[in-house]
Amino acid sequence: DGGITQSPKYLFRKEGQNVTLSCEQNLNHDAMYWYRQDPGQGLRLIYYSQIVNDFQKGDIAEGYSVSREKKESFPLTVTSAQKNPTAFYLCASSIVRGYSGGGFSGANVLTFGAGSRLTVL
Amino acid sequence: GDSVTQMEGPVTLSEEAFLTINCTYTATGYPSLFWYVQYPGEGLQLLLKATKADDKGSNKGFEATYRKETTSFHLEKGSVQVSDSAVYFCALSTYTGTASKLTFGTGTRLQVTL
């Protein structure tokens, strides 16, 4: 079955360390996204990518970095510059507007992974 | 900027009760509207969506109608089950380039008891 795989599910980090969260999809989606979820705050967009080798900052990109070397993969690095990294991180993907089949239907529907919970010790 | 406001939880209901979770939005243009559901320890799953005014999205007994005049997209279900216990997120979507940018509400936790 097609889907999004995030790993690890749980991750512990010491202060001052960088950590990388993995996100892999086999849905053949062009667009991929990283969201951060905190209790009582909903989800906030960190970074997104519309195509390989290109990505844009979302609303809370400071202290994070990404790469998009392959269509299937969009890893997120939480750097030591992120002051409050403890959170639940969600990766998502979607087709892009204008995809084959005509029109925009489905292009704004995101498929999410199961998430990675990062705790800073 | 775009924003979504939904009622605070938790909402606690007995099985077979009627459910309403309120959601209102602020956006420029004509966004698409969504309800996503999150079960404990999992990612989000799309529950239903509506892409234009007066559209009704429905799935698994849940319904929501896109009301442009009141900028609302309230979620309803006639008879909830224990298995509906989860966190429900209202969201709107606008396009940035070819990618979709979702703006989420803070989520409403629903707990259904026997």
Residues A58, A98: Cα–Cα separation, whole Å: 22
Q: In whole numbers, what is the pLDDT of chain B averaged over residues?
A: 92
Q: What is the mean pLDDT of chain A?
A: 88
Residue for token pair 């979709």 = B100
* Residue A101 DSSP class: T
| Closest partner CB to B43 (pick from A40, A107, A115) | A115
Closest CA to A5 of A30, A32, A42: A32
* Confidence band, pLDDT 50/70/90 cuts, at residue B97: low
Position of tokens 């009627």?
A: B18
Could you read off the pLDDT of A44-57 as tens digits, one per residue? Answer: 999 999 889 999 99
Q: What are the CA-CA distances from residue A25 to residues A37, A70, B6 (Å)?
A: 20, 10, 31
pLDDT at A20: 96
Task: Tell me which of B44, B46, B88, B109 to substitute to probe the interface with A (most A C-beta atoms closer than 10 Å).
Answer: B44
Q: In three state form, how does the secondary structure of chain B look?
A: CCEEEECCCCEEEECCCCEEECEEEECCCCCEEEEEEECCCCCEEEEEEECCCCCEEEECCEEEECECCCCECCEEECCCCHHHCEEEEEEEEEEECCEEEEEECCCEEEEEEC
pLDDT (0 to 100) of residue A2: 74
A–B: how many Cβ contacts below 8 A? 77
pLDDT bin (cut points 50, 70, 90) of residue A101 is very low
Name every chain B residue with its beta carbon within 8 A of the beta carbon of A98. 98
Residues 6+ apart with CB under 8 A from A101: none
**Mutation choice for B interface testing from A110, A111, A117 by most B CBs within 10 A:** A110
Residue B96 has what pLDDT?
66
From A41's Cα to the closest Cα of chain B, the distance in A is 5
Determine the pLDDT at residue B81.
97
Percent of chain A whose predicted confidence (pLDDT) is above 90 = 67
Omega within 30 of 0 (cis) for the link into B40: no
pLDDT confidence of residue A103: 44
